Structure 1
């Protein structure tokens, strides 16, 4: 369990007001990680204004790749009691001890700009637990075919019902809340299109209202919720309930039924249970379902200041014989029932402070994953989920932040772990202490816990992310540098075995994953840049071909894009002769649309030039990495775009790319197409005449260099492997030792989406939190084509990273 980093506040002074806060039990510090690897955490101090005299419970968000770049979502006057993401990672639920619950989402998908989607207030209630409605989608690895190379066989959609159905069986968006007085509240979120009001209903969990100290919620495969609650008294039972929420006639109906309960002292071991029954300070502090979906096991933490015990209980079906007097005389009768059975326990000589379980069950019907528990002595224990046997443990050594103050001016304060959370793939553990500092640890592989991280396991996890759309950043942070090239090769081989339809569907996501792997090594930066260029080329090609419409006279069996690909494959080197084989009507586009795409057309021309001028300096590649100039598919795609540009230039000459030429009569487009056509014939060993022609290009036309490197400061970078862990970071301060290379344009910022120069210091722009690419927010020509292009990158950068707004101070 390697310690990756520690990130804390810059100041080391503390006020008397802050001292009083530390003397009481810290309740409002929470942390959670989303499926997109965005962390949300609450603090009891203002990380941006350390001199604040007023207490507040603050909620911050940050990307896991750059945790020092935090943004405050909420400053609350009451302690935060629930902090949770939904399955998509878009909605953040924040609830407090006064009954106020809010759901936030990003505005225009900007990570540092949040708006409220839903707000409800349960006056006088302390919200203990909450859960978003399940969408009914669940994908797992098929254990019987986990070694299969075909994605459709390796990964299967598990039958799972959504929590609340709307008209037509569509899943509803909403959340369910549980308060300390045993009140249930279900809220259906309004739909953005119709702006319908919030639908809310309340109901008692039990026949009468009960006092609850700790609780947890999980999902049943029939669409119901499973709730486990305790009032904190170890002599009282752990009570379980099944809750269903239905929508009928614009109303919400909650139904709660009691399930079997169990007592902790019924466990067959005596030493700990004797102390629990005798020590009045012993309390039930934590309850967690082993799995978030279709769970049948509970882990319960109970104990006092000097000793704690974790017990694992499982709900099992048993067969009980029926006496012959009560049954038929001729046959033996049996009665099927369910019963809570004690499984195992873990005992430790300290108080439990936090508990976390794995969020995903990667293998269907097979339990895999961990239970991670922290204690008051700041020890962290990773246990097997089924047996509670130790896997690995570590101790968080925290020195008092204020120990060096002169003459003991400020009281030395003990710092303890308060909250923990695992990433969805289970590769890293996030820890928050009582001084509002964050820590990140590596965890062993979930499926192959007894073995170190292996290439087959990592390939399976990346394929799972490819199929489900989940983010894979937490896996990048635990990879070893010597695993990158073999992992890329294995992932490529596996992807190439898929049927063409599967490859086409997941192609863009596959390119993003490969690019992120190459960016982790210093030797892979050129490969990552080439893949980034190819990804943009692929997207532009898709956008351009989507503008083509078949003419009325032609056959609809073959689209214009197919006709263009067939003509390109014939190997014609003269672009004008090639146009004679195409139907002009099929490639006609509105002139205003063509003019709005000029910057993308210009980028295509510059890319073709940059590829050709590098041929004389290239040598036959010995590595297995990606190179754009040796990718026949990419070169043919580039030739297709040049043909389209040639046709569109006849319709709208102003949309053609602009080149600075030494000879005004030189046809650059025809020259580029001819040279690329010759290169496609032999990409590994270009002939001498082609190399000579490419050598003459810089003297014939000015080559606009493409942006090869991006200045970014991130954890997932080659610099991480060169540092001694753990890293010491500060909120709001970028570590210089994690900074990448400078931009190839001295100070000029380029829009990575529209490919326009934004200047040296644009007033406002949005920047990717992963790759560092920048994009403007000011709208350009609003044609349908360019609107569709902008919408393609509204949710995230082309690398998959989220956008963050940057405002220049001057």
Structure 2
């Protein structure tokens, strides 16, 4: 008989994890159901909640084994759930409902402990270019088309196992781009995911060809609840010929490939003494020539690094930038920053009588033959929380997270606190002690969590400690999860405490502009905004949109109405304005619904709405005669089936109620309109 005991610092003990999407939807796991106080439902349970209403959580799925990986895709539509026994499932919303989720496809790798996972990149990325303040949005924010992780039709000219060649030349790009034909880098982005296991396996899964990834709606809801989810196409590849025991891992996207960093469990002996070995790899996923077969998966090694640390402590690792990684944050007894850099080795001219391998620039130009460049990890900074004393909740780093936007910063969580640092030099900014229990006596400057799941606990007790930290996509808030699956949300200091007010407003304006164009939810930025800067920010954003081209304003009209309403809700005197904007947006939605359902019988280039708009544009605003315009419009019969009219009845009644409410509210503003004019929204 063999007995095995797991201590508190054992990395094999599965703890709750959390992640936040670009839509500010928080997904977190729990070993028991949230309503279970006795532990009868032990296993794996996944819940989601909106950042706006974190107390209203919704159940996604439950498993018999603990949850070890939770990941969102870059659009925030799909959620990947992996367990400690190798089960991987991808979920999506049904009918765009936050409280109704369904499994899109699933895969199983029996006996494999899933350490980390990532969903494929779709190849779309918004890049912020350093331009003048008064530059247009099309100049400051450019949508770049990157190579998707898995390309569909259109990349037939690329060899399935083609990988980038490691070369020199470049401060940030440590391997060259593929100089392939245009048809080789184009192609539709395919969906799928990659996972890394504790035994050193890299696994890829893609949905079957005959299955659509979009959740069905309508009558098929009952059918999909009975039928089992489709099985994904899977493929596996060893990271190394000699497989390692992996205790932590991290993924990042790089030019259509995947960067994998893994921490080995066995101690490494080097010239610095005992420590940990961190191995890095480059993975490439290419579609098979046969659509029904699994994709091809290739792995190429990158230089490894050794960290002096206690092998008995659970480590944490994270790439600094998830879409273009070249720096690693490694947490253990201390927090260290490592960067992959080029190292030059001089070669004697007698030994350099031909092209030296790896001695070319990124454009393929041969360098002088007196130098040979290799890649090596360089430690850039190191930080220990012992320097700030015991008030910041010191201890071992249980989780490390890097903020995505600029300025570059990093978050590290210990068992009792969260620390914010500048990422480049690991300079300490501030610390926050997190109360995970909610006892009667609280330290100064702390607050007990709302609706504690396990009741009040002793402050110095060990029943609830922090185990995971994540930052929002805009860098406005930090989400911390403890071992009782209690969420703690904190505002992140933006960007410096002593920044002048104009620069502070400009910083948030840049963040809102980026979120508006990229399609990210901006609630995290609004939560971190100072109350005194809300009205100047509203004026700044209104002025910014007025300078944009007409096509830009029309395309982002709905998103701009949302942003204006959200900013008005934050201002004490803006509640009426927010209500009006919400009603206007509802009218826009109803108008779009009715316009799509009702069409003129005579199909032509211009309908009634287009004809009215052209007549209004032809005449100056000061000389518009509404009587002549209405007479000049030709009456056309509308073709609409009786069933469509019945379906639109409630929508039209809603539109009429909103319009009458808006007209009734005009009397409060004491507006005097000349006869024959219409009231319109400015």
Alignment of 1:474-489 (within 5 A): 474-489=524-539
2:376 and 2:420 map into 1 onto residues whose CA distance is: 28
The CA deviation at 1:542 is: 3.9
Q: Find the counterpart in structure 1 of residue 225 from structure 2.
A: none
Point out where structure 1 has 5 or more consecutive residues left out of the alignment: 1-19, 266-275, 303-307, 363-367, 621-628, 631-673, 685-810
User: Which residue of the other structure, out of 293, 302, 306, is the alignment partner of 1:259?
Assistant: 302
CA deviations on 1:735-763 (whole Å, 9 max, x unpaired) are xxxxxxxxxxxxxxxxxxxxxxxxxxxxx
1:141 and 1:433 map into 2 onto residues whose CA distance is: 35
Query: In the superposition, relative to structure 1, how do residues 604 and 176 fare at CA in structure 2: closer, same or farther (>3 Å)?
Result: closer
Structure 1 residue 322 corresponds to structure 2 residue 321? no
Structure 1 residue 564 corresponds to structure 2 residue 612? yes
Structure 1 residue 357 corresponds to structure 2 residue 382? no
SS at structure 2 position matched to 1:207: coil
**Cα contact 2:403–2:411 (8 A) shared by 1:** no
Structure 1 residue 39 corresponds to structure 2 residue 26? yes
2:352 and 2:395 map into 1 onto residues whose CA distance is: 51
Alignment of 1:418-457 (within 5 A): 418-445=467-494, 451=499, 454-457=504-507
SS at structure 2 position matched to 1:156: strand
Q: Find the counterpart in structure 2 of residue 217 from structure 1.
A: 251
Larger Rg: 1
CA deviations on 1:438-475 (whole Å, 9 max, x unpaired) are 211111236x6863882111111111111011111111
SS at structure 2 position matched to 1:213: strand
Query: In the superposition, relative to structure 1, how do residues 316 and 413 fare at CA in structure 2: closer, same or farther (>3 Å)?
Result: closer
**Cα contact 2:335–2:397 (8 A) shared by 1:** no
1:289 and 1:573 map into 2 onto residues whose CA distance is: 62
CA deviations on 1:28-60 (whole Å, 9 max, x unpaired) are 310111111111111233211324434223221
2:640 and 2:438 map into 1 onto residues whose CA distance is: 68
The CA deviation at 1:551 is: 3.9
Query: In the superposition, relative to structure 1, how do residues 452 and 171 fare at CA in structure 2: closer, same or farther (>3 Å)?
Result: farther
Structure 1 residue 158 corresponds to structure 2 residue 144? yes
User: Which residue of the other structure, out of 405, 412, 422, is the alignment partner of 1:373?
Assistant: 412
Structure 1 residue 301 corresponds to structure 2 residue 325? no
Structure 1 residue 131 corresponds to structure 2 residue 118? yes
Q: Find the counterpart in structure 2 of residue 94 from structure 1.
A: 81
Query: In the superposition, relative to structure 1, how do residues 152 and 396 fare at CA in structure 2: closer, same or farther (>3 Å)?
Result: same
Query: In the superposition, relative to structure 1, how do residues 315 and 449 fare at CA in structure 2: closer, same or farther (>3 Å)?
Result: farther
User: Which residue of the other structure, out of 149, 174, 179, is the alignment partner of 2:192?
Assistant: 174
Query: In the superposition, relative to structure 1, how do residues 191 and 485 fare at CA in structure 2: closer, same or farther (>3 Å)?
Result: farther
Query: In the superposition, relative to structure 1, how do residues 605 and 381 fare at CA in structure 2: closer, same or farther (>3 Å)?
Result: closer
1:450 and 1:155 map into 2 onto residues whose CA distance is: 28
Point out where structure 2 has 5 or more consecutive residues left out of the alignment: 1-5, 155-186, 214-229, 268-273, 355-367, 387-393, 443-453
The CA deviation at 1:286 is: 1.3
SS at structure 2 position matched to 1:678: coil
1:284 and 1:613 map into 2 onto residues whose CA distance is: 64
**Cα contact 1:56–1:76 (8 A) shared by 2:** yes
2:678 and 2:251 map into 1 onto residues whose CA distance is: 61
Q: Find the counterpart in structure 2 of residue 383 from structure 1.
A: 421
Structure 1 residue 393 corresponds to structure 2 residue 431? yes
Query: In the superposition, relative to structure 1, how do residues 32 and 487 fare at CA in structure 2: closer, same or farther (>3 Å)?
Result: same
SS at structure 1 position matched to 2:489: strand
**Cα contact 1:240–1:259 (8 A) shared by 2:** yes
CA deviations on 1:729-786 (whole Å, 9 max, x unpaired) are xxxxxxxxxxxxxxxxxxxxxxxxxxxxxxxxxxxxxxxxxxxxxxxxxxxxxxxxxx
Q: Find the counterpart in structure 2 of residue 582 from structure 1.
A: 633
Query: In the superposition, relative to structure 1, how do residues 609 and 81 fare at CA in structure 2: closer, same or farther (>3 Å)?
Result: closer
Structure 1 residue 243 corresponds to structure 2 residue 243? no
Q: Find the counterpart in structure 1 of residue 377 from structure 2.
A: 340
SS at structure 1 position matched to 2:277: coil
SS at structure 2 position matched to 1:516: helix
1:184 and 1:206 map into 2 onto residues whose CA distance is: 10
**Cα contact 2:106–2:231 (8 A) shared by 1:** no
The CA deviation at 1:191 is: 5.7
Alignment of 1:132-147 (within 5 A): 132-143=119-130, 145=131, 147=133
Q: Find the counterpart in structure 2 of residue 186 from structure 1.
A: 204
The CA deviation at 1:398 is: 4.3
> Once structures 1 and 2 are overlaid, which stretch shifts more, 331-340 or 206-215?
331-340
2:436 and 2:195 map into 1 onto residues whose CA distance is: 35
Alignment of 1:256-295 (within 5 A): 256-265=299-308, 276=309, 282-283=312-313, 285-295=315-325
2:479 and 2:140 map into 1 onto residues whose CA distance is: 30
1:65 and 1:470 map into 2 onto residues whose CA distance is: 14
1:115 and 1:607 map into 2 onto residues whose CA distance is: 35
**Cα contact 1:57–1:75 (8 A) shared by 2:** yes
Structure 1 residue 534 corresponds to structure 2 residue 584? yes
Structure 1 residue 208 corresponds to structure 2 residue 257? no
Q: Find the counterpart in structure 1 of residue 263 from structure 2.
A: 230
Normalised TM-score (structure 2): 0.77
The CA deviation at 1:492 is: 0.9
Alignment of 1:680-719 (within 5 A): 680=679
2:461 and 2:420 map into 1 onto residues whose CA distance is: 30
2:441 and 2:40 map into 1 onto residues whose CA distance is: 22
CA deviations on 1:100-157 (whole Å, 9 max, x unpaired) are 11211222221112211122221111111111011111112112x1624311101122
SS at structure 2 position matched to 1:206: coil
Query: In the superposition, relative to structure 1, how do residues 44 and 101 fare at CA in structure 2: closer, same or farther (>3 Å)?
Result: same
SS at structure 1 position matched to 2:345: strand
Normalised TM-score (structure 1): 0.65
1:134 and 1:323 map into 2 onto residues whose CA distance is: 44
CA deviations on 1:287-344 (whole Å, 9 max, x unpaired) are 2111101211111123xxxxx2112111112333221221369x86222322211111
The CA deviation at 1:228 is: 1.1
> Once structures 1 and 2 are overlaid, which stretch shifts more, 492-501 or 64-73?
64-73
2:148 and 2:285 map into 1 onto residues whose CA distance is: 10
Structure 1 residue 311 corresponds to structure 2 residue 324? no
Q: Find the counterpart in structure 2 of residue 783 from structure 1.
A: none
> Once structures 1 and 2 are overlaid, which stretch shifts more, 463-472 or 411-420?
411-420
Query: In the superposition, relative to structure 1, how do residues 146 and 525 fare at CA in structure 2: closer, same or farther (>3 Å)?
Result: same
CA RMSD of aligned residues (A): 3.3
Q: Find the counterpart in structure 1 of residue 62 from structure 2.
A: 75
CA deviations on 1:596-641 (whole Å, 9 max, x unpaired) are 4344444454445444444443247xxxxxxxx99xxxxxxxxxxx
> Greater relative contact order (Cα 8 A, min sep 6): structure 1 or 2?
1
CA deviations on 1:158-177 (whole Å, 9 max, x unpaired) are 35211011113111100001
2:370 and 2:8 map into 1 onto residues whose CA distance is: 62
User: Which residue of the other structure, out of 97, 100, 104, is the alignment partner of 1:110?
Assistant: 97
Q: Find the counterpart in structure 2 of residue 597 from structure 1.
A: 648
Q: Find the counterpart in structure 1 of residue 464 from structure 2.
A: 415
Query: In the superposition, relative to structure 1, how do residues 194 and 394 fare at CA in structure 2: closer, same or farther (>3 Å)?
Result: closer
1:564 and 1:374 map into 2 onto residues whose CA distance is: 60
Q: Find the counterpart in structure 2 of residue 664 from structure 1.
A: none
SS at structure 1 position matched to 2:559: helix
2:511 and 2:526 map into 1 onto residues whose CA distance is: 11
Q: Find the counterpart in structure 2 of residue 693 from structure 1.
A: none
Query: In the superposition, relative to structure 1, how do residues 441 and 403 fare at CA in structure 2: closer, same or farther (>3 Å)?
Result: closer
SS at structure 2 position matched to 1:501: helix
2:283 and 2:76 map into 1 onto residues whose CA distance is: 24
